[in-house]
Structure 1
Amino acid sequence: MAETRRPVASLWIGEKLHYLNQLCLKSHLLHGHPVTLYCTDDVRNAPEGVEIRPATEIMDIDMKLVEGTSASFLSNVFRYKMIRKTGAIWVDCDAFCHKPFPDEWEWIFAGHGMRGALNCGVVGLPRECALMDQLIDYYDNLPDYPAWWNKRQRKQMDKLKEKGGALSHAEMIYKTERTAFGPQAFTWFAQQTGDIERAMSPDVLYPVPFQLNDIFYDPHGRVEGWFTDQTVSVHLYTNGTKPWWRKNPPLANSYVARMCDEVGIEPAAALEE
Structure 2
Amino acid sequence: MTGPIRRPVASLWIGERLHYLNQLCLLSHVKQGHPTTLYCTDTVTNVPEGVIVKPATDIMAIDMEIVRQTSESFLSNVFRYKMIQKTDAVWIDCDAFCHKPFPDEMQNIFAGHGFRGALNCGVVYIPPKGALIDQLLDYYDNLPAAPAWFNKQQRKRLEKQDPSLPHAVRIYNAERTSFGPQAFTWFAQQTGDYEKALSPDFLYPVPFQLNDVFYDPYGRVEGHFTDNTLSVHLYTNGTKPWWRKNPPLANSYADRMCREIGVNPQDALEE
TM-score category of the 2 structures, normalised to the smaller one? over 0.9
Of 234, 238, 241, 1:240 maps to 238
Q: Using the TM superposition, give the Cα deviation of residue 159 of structure 1 relative to its aligned residue in structure 2, in angstroms.
A: 1.3
- Unpaired stretches in structure 1, ≥5 consecutive residues: none
Q: State the partner residue of 2:50.
A: 49
The whole-number CA distance in structure 1 between the counterparts of 2:143 and 2:75 is: 13
- Pick from 164, 180, 183: which aligns with 1:182? 180
> How far, CA to CA, are the matches of 1:220 and 1:211 in structure 2?
18
Distance in 1 separating the partners of 2:76 and 2:21: 18
Structure 1: how far apart are the matches of 2:229 and 2:23? 21
Partner-residue secondary structure (3-state), 2:161: helix
Residue 88 (structure 1) aligns with? 89
**Structure 2: which 5+ runs fail to align?**
none
Paired position in structure 1 for 2:108: 107
The alignment partner of 1:160 has SS state of coil
Residues 1-58 of structure 1: CA distance to partner in whole angstroms, max 9, x if unpaired?
Answer: 2210000000001001110000000000000000010001111211111110000000
1:251 counterpart SS class? coil
| Corresponding residue for residue 213 of structure 1 | 211
Inter-partner Cα distance in structure 1 for 2:60 and 2:212: 34
The structural deviation recorded for 1:244 is 0.9
Taking only aligned residues, the RMSD between alpha carbons, in angstroms, comes to 0.8
Name 1:225's counterpart in structure 2: 223
Aligned residue pair count: 270
Deviations 1:135-157 (A, max 9, x none): 00000011111111100110111
TM-score normalised over the length of structure 2: 0.98
| Counterpart residue type for residue 245 of structure 1 | W
Name the CA distance, whole Å, in 2 between partners of 1:178 and 1:160: 13
Q: Deviations over 1:83-112 (max 9, x none)?
A: 000000000000000000011101110001
Q: Distance in 2 between matches of 1:245 and 1:68?
A: 27
The one-letter amino acid of 1:39's match is C
Paired-residue identity, %? 73
1:143 maps to a residue whose letter is P
The match for 1:97 is 98
Give the alignment of 1:5-154 within 5 angstroms.
Answer: 5-154=6-155
Cα distance between partner residues in 2 of 1:223 and 1:176? 35
